[in-house]
């Protein structure tokens, strides 16, 4: 099998639209990355047709840092105050007070990742370097909220050319690359300072002008298996 590169890092997002957490190892299941998007908040103040509260509308969500504990509970580190369990009444009350125009909150939980399109997203270090060079400034890769960040081998196909290809990740997991990822204004928000910093609209304009508004790839999982940072990726 042809080697393409390796997993540089793995990221999951226990609560949809909140900040992610970097992990060393996990499982790819038929539904997606284990522990990803377990929870989502719905708001009566969300735009029509979009029940879930997302960072596109409320960038304050990126200031919250959830972590999946060993006991299976998700604890959220807030911008102020001690951490709270995501499913606690105090968490709902806090968000209703601190997220502008969110109105009434409800929490949804799912065993399968509550993703918008496909269960797994990937982007490479090489793509990040290319976009940074085109933009003329470094880009924080966390803006793209990928599950797997890849480090491709010299001369390997970049991820755009992998659409339709089947890949083996680690020892047993198999994924099918379905499409390039269309991007929204979420990527314009600074992961470190989403509220205080001005949105990086130049990045969105660059993707629109040079890359059909796309960056990274979506995949589905064809065969489950364990993965860890440093695992090799092959054309299957």
What CATH number should be reported for the domain holding residue 219? 2.40.33.20
pLDDT, residue 102, reads: 54
Whether the predicted pLDDT of 30 surpasses 90: yes
Q: At what angle do helices 201-210 and 125-135 cross, to 10 degrees?
A: 100
User: What residues make up the domain containing 64?
Assistant: 3-235
Residue 115's pLDDT is 84
Report the domain count for the chain.
1
* Strand boundaries in the chain, DSSP class E: 3-12, 21-23, 25-29, 32-33, 39-43, 65-68, 74-77, 84-85, 105-109, 120-124, 148-152, 166-169, 173-182, 214-223, 225-228, 232-235
pLDDT in tens, 68-122: 999 999 999 999 899 999 999 999 888 888 876 656 678 889 888 888 789 999 9
Can you tell me the distance from the alpha carbon of 228 to that of 94, in angstroms, rounded to the nearest whole number? 35
Q: Check if the beta carbon of residue 207 is closer than 8 Å to that of residue 214.
A: yes
- Cβ partners under 8 Å of residue 119, min gap 6: 31, 32, 33, 36, 112, 113, 219, 220, 221
- Model pLDDT for residues 112-171, shown as the tens digit of each residue: 888 878 999 999 999 999 999 999 999 999 999 999 999 999 877 789 999 999 999 999
Mapping DSSP to helix (H, G, I), strand (E, B) and coil, where does residue 44 land? coil
């Amino acid at each position: 099998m042809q080697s393409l590169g390796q997993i540089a890092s793995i990221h999951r997002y226990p609560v949809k639209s909140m900040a992610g957490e970097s992990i060393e190892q996990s499982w790819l299941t038929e539904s997606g990355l284990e522990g990803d998007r377990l929870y989502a908040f719905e708001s009566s103040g969300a735009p029509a047709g979009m029940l879930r509260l997302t960072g596109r509308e409320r960038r304050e969500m990126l200031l919250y840092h959830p972590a999946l504990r060993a006991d299976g509970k998700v604890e959220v580190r807030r911008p102020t105050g001690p951490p709270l369990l995501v499913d606690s009444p105090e968490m709902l009350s806090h968000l209703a007070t601190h997220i502008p125009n969110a109105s009434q909150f409800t929490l949804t939980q799912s065993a399968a990742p509550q993703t918008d399109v496909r269960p797994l997203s990937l982007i490479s270090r090489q793509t990040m370097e290319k976009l940074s060079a085109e933009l003329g400034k470094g880009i924080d890769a966390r803006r793209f909220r990928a599950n797997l960040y890849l480090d491709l081998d010299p001369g390997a196909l970049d991820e755009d050319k992998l659409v339709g290809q089947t890949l083996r990740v680690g020892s047993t997991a198999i994924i099918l690359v379905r499409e390039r990822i269309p991007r929204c204004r979420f990527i314009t928000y600074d992961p470190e300072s989403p509220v205080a910093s001005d949105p990086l609209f130049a990045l969105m304009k660059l993707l629109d002008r040079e890359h059909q508004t796309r960056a990274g790839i979506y995949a589905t999982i064809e065969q489950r298996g364990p993965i860890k940072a440093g695992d090799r990726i092959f054309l299957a």
